[in-house]
Amino acid sequence: MADQDKPSREQAEAAVRTLLNWAGDDPGREGLLDTPKRVVDAFGDWFSGYSDDPTEYLKRTFEEVEGYDEMIVLRDIEFESHCEHHMAPIIGKAHVGYLPDGKVVGISKLARVVETYARRLQVQEKLTAQIAQVIQDVLQPRGVGVVIEASHECMTTRGVHKRGVSMITSKMLGSFREDARTRAEFLQFIDVGPGR
Ligand SMILES: Nc1nc2c(ncn2[C@@H]2O[C@H](COP(=O)(O)OP(=O)(O)OP(=O)(O)O)[C@@H](O)[C@H]2O)c(=O)[nH]1
Ligand SMILES: [Zn+2]
């Protein structure tokens, strides 16, 4: 969205008052007076990923790694996101692996990439694919794998009300997609599932 189309803070707070009213409460009562301000602040936090460019995190790389060319995996990257259908939380973990081609990136940057895309409205498939694709495009490794396991509060606290359900998605690119051994090594490293 272009900046000039962005609603003002006052408009955003007024929208929250409308929703409070619609829910059946009185936005003028004392306990709710500051709620629109808090909700807009919370939106600023949950959706800060729109003003962040994930490619920036991956541009600083290191080449002095003694020719290290084996798989690098960051597993159990916890994240909170929101589904684009209901704006309900998606809470889970991402596992990211890649096979470097000369360049490696600081590991915190992989977690920052996850954070940036998570702090936007998402569907899990898109979140998974976006993380894998930006790593492939910017770092240009021999391959990338991303696996995400998450629970969707739009399924647990409303709608079908199914607790304890996890959704697992994966996106494999390059050698992770083409070479069964690479894929198997990655899946073994991250050891997804409740048993571990
Ligand atoms: N594939 C996928 N589906 C999602 C994700 N997040 C939410 N959904 C689903 O998106 C669907 C939206 O379906 P709709 O029928 O349009 O919405 P709804 O009437 O609120 O559906 P219910 O949740 O079944 O009550 C639901 O089945 C959600 O469970 C996601 O990340 N990936
Ligand atoms: Zn949803």
pLDDT in tens, 1-49: 556 789 999 999 999 999 999 999 999 999 999 999 999 999 999 999 9
**Within 13 Å and on the Cβ side, how many CA atoms surround 190?**
27
Q: Is 86 a catalytic residue?
A: yes
* Alpha carbons within 13 A on the beta-carbon side of 24: 0
pTM greater than 0.90 (yes/no)? yes
> In the 8-state DSSP scheme, what is residue 191?
-
Report DSSP state, residue 177.
H
**Sequence letter at residue 91:** I
Domains of the chain, CATH where assigned: 8-46 (1.10.286.10), 54-190 (3.30.1130.10)
pLDDT in tens, 56-71: 999 999 888 888 899 9
Angle between the N-to-C axes of helices 9-23 and 35-46, in degrees from 0 to 180, rounded to the nearest 10: 110
Residue 44 tokens, joined: 């600023």
Q: Give the residue-averaged pLDDT of 61-82.
A: 93
Query: Across the chain, which distance is largest between two alpha carbons, in Å?
Result: 65
Testing ligand 1's pocket by substitution, the residue of 79, 81, 85 carrying the most ligand atoms inside 8 A of its CB is 85
CA 9 to centroid of ligand 2, rounded, Å: 25
Q: Where are the alpha helices (DSSP H) in 24-174?
A: 35-46, 54-57, 107-118, 124-139, 153-156
Give the orientation angle of helix 124-139 with respect to helix 107-118, to 10 degrees: 140
Residue with tokens 């790389």: 61
Marked catalytic residue, from 13, 82, 83, 149: 83
Is any atom of ligand 1 closer than 6 Å to the C-beta of 155? Answer: yes
- Decide whether any atom of ligand 1 lies within 6 Å of the 123 Cβ: yes
Taking the centre of ligand 1 as the mean of its atom positions, its distance from the CA of residue 36, in whole angstroms, is: 27
Mean pLDDT to the nearest integer, 175-185: 97
Query: Using a 6 Å cutoff on CB, does residue 150 contact ligand 1?
Result: no
Q: Is 122 left (phi over 0), alpha (psi -120 to 50) or beta?
A: beta
